[in-house]
Amino acid sequence: MTNTEQHLHLYRRMLLIRRFEDRVYTLFLAGEIPGTVHQCQGQEAVAVGVCDHLASTDWITSTHRPHGHALAKGVSTRAAMAELYGKETGCCRGRGGSMHLGDPDVGMLPAIAIVGGGNTVVTGLGLAFKLRRSGQVAVCFFGEGATNEGAFHEGLNFAAVQRLPIVFVCENNLYGASTSYRQVSLVTDVAARAAAYAVPAQIVDGMDLQAVHRAAGEVIAAARRGDGPVLLECKTYRFAGHSRGDARGYRAREEEAQWKERDPILRLAARLRAEGHADDLARIEAEVDREIEDAVEFARASPLPAPDAALDGIYA
Ligand SMILES: Cc1ncc(C[n+]2csc(CCOP(=O)(O)OP(=O)(O)O)c2C)c(N)n1
């Protein structure tokens, strides 16, 4: 792949996530999607920049905000949308919904909505990969809100002591629900906390696809080589509220506007346009929109799980 081809490919992945989330928003408001949704508009560069370095045999864990991680890791758009609708054709056969997207076939554990939940579970993946000497890597996505949970510290320490092939990717979007990180931690760089466990850490501009991609490539290669775990802190921002009922009274509209100027998708698009690829961008946009409409039609037309299958997959 040339540099341009790679950038167009990454642009497409980010745009797919953005358009998916925007469409899900209207579908949710229209009452088509049950439950609630936590959306990731603004954070696309992190999911895409990291997952581009992973094979389907590498695994990720995710959070209550998993739509972008799932699409970036290769969960099909149809299977993700159908899961949000609670349909049998969803990636978890409609049993998980928005907060539990995942698919073992593409290396994504169904997402864990307990804050910090993935930070210890990921060590099981890492330990298995190490014992099998398989060269696989596990990536744990988490928010800065998880770092005051015991699980964050236990996971990091265990991974460090065992030298596990794990990359802990913190999406530091400044707020855990309505609480600013400054109110709950005097150490505002999550990366600094990794030093407590002798885990190397890097901070990267999470609104810059190329910066995330470069940094993620380095730390994932190091983990794969057997150098032990790494923490990558991506400074980012969620453009939407925490979940769908959030009026965002805890942050200033000026702050939101400043972060929107750093929109990772617009930044990459501007660069590609300046390099003469406007036609490719228009083609990609049309293809992405068709892919999402196809997924919506697929989800709408799919059956709900049969009532007599309610006990399938229950072990005790
Ligand atoms: C252990 C636990 N406590 C509280 C909650 C409720 N809750 C859901 S998301 C969230 C905020 C999480 O913030 P962060 O980890 O920074 O992720 P972000 O929402 O910013 O992506 C909270 C408090 C939960 N799901 N699990």
Taking residues 90-114, report their average pLDDT: 97
Q: Give the model's confidence band at 245: pLDDT under 50 very low, under 70 low, under 90 confident, else very high.
A: confident
Beta bridge partners of 142: 170
The terminus-to-terminus CA distance of the chain in angstroms comes to 49
Q: In the numeric block, which tokens belong to residue 148?
A: 């005051």
Q: Calculate what percentage of the chain has a pLDDT beyond 70.
A: 100
Q: In the numeric block, which tokens belong to residue 136?
A: 């696989």
The answer, yes or no, to whether any atom of ligand 1 lies below 6 A from the CB of 117, is no
pLDDT for 193 beyond 90: yes
pLDDT for 198 beyond 90: yes
User: What is the pTM for the complete model shown?
Assistant: 0.98
The number of the ligand 1 atom at minimal distance from the alpha carbon of 173 is 20
Query: Rounded distance, CA 294 to CA 17, Å?
Result: 15
Alpha helix segments (H runs only) across 162-275: 181-184, 190-194, 209-225, 253-260, 264-274
pLDDT for 248 beyond 90: yes
pLDDT of residue 244: 81
| 243 Cα to the center of ligand 1, angstroms | 10
| 177 Cα to the center of ligand 1, angstroms | 6
pLDDT of residue 315: 84
pLDDT for 290 beyond 90: yes
H/E stretch holding 24 reads helix 3-29
Q: What is the average pLDDT value for the chain, to the nearest integer?
A: 97
The answer, yes or no, to whether any atom of ligand 1 lies below 6 A from the CB of 114, is yes
pLDDT for 2 beyond 90: no
Query: Rounded distance, CA 143 to CA 177, Å?
Result: 10
Query: Rounded distance, CA 24 to CA 251, Å?
Result: 24
Burial code of 246-269, b = ≥16 C-beta within 10 A, e = fewer? beeeeeeeeeeeebeebbbbebbb
Q: Give the model's confidence band at 52: pLDDT under 50 very low, under 70 low, under 90 confident, else very high.
A: very high
pLDDT of residue 111: 98
Q: Give the model's confidence band at 151: pLDDT under 50 very low, under 70 low, under 90 confident, else very high.
A: very high
75 within 8 A of 103, measured Cβ to Cβ: yes
Burial class (CB in 10 A: 0-12, 13-18, 19+), 245: exposed
Query: Rounded distance, CA 125 to CA 230, Å?
Result: 15
pLDDT of residue 61: 98
102 within 8 A of 74, measured Cβ to Cβ: no
Q: Give the model's confidence band at 183: pLDDT under 50 very low, under 70 low, under 90 confident, else very high.
A: very high
Burial code of 149-170, b = ≥16 C-beta within 10 A, e = fewer? bebbbebbbbbbebebbbbbbb
φ and ψ of 187, to 5 deg: -95, 105
- Among 36, 43, 64, 244, the mutation site with the greatest number of ligand 1 atoms within 8 A of its Cβ is 64
Could you tell me how far CA 68 lies from the centroid of its own chain? Answer: 5
Residue nearest to atom 17 of ligand 1 (CA): 143
Q: In the numeric block, which tokens belong to residue 240?
A: 């939407």
pLDDT for 5 beyond 90: yes
Q: Give the model's confidence band at 37: pLDDT under 50 very low, under 70 low, under 90 confident, else very high.
A: very high
- Among 38, 115, 148, the mutation site with the greatest number of ligand 1 atoms within 8 A of its Cβ is 115
Residue nearest to atom 3 of ligand 1 (CA): 115
The answer, yes or no, to whether any atom of ligand 1 lies below 6 A from the CB of 280, is no
The answer, yes or no, to whether any atom of ligand 1 lies below 6 A from the CB of 277, is no
| 144 Cα to the center of ligand 1, angstroms | 9
pLDDT for 137 beyond 90: yes
* SS3 label, residue 230: strand
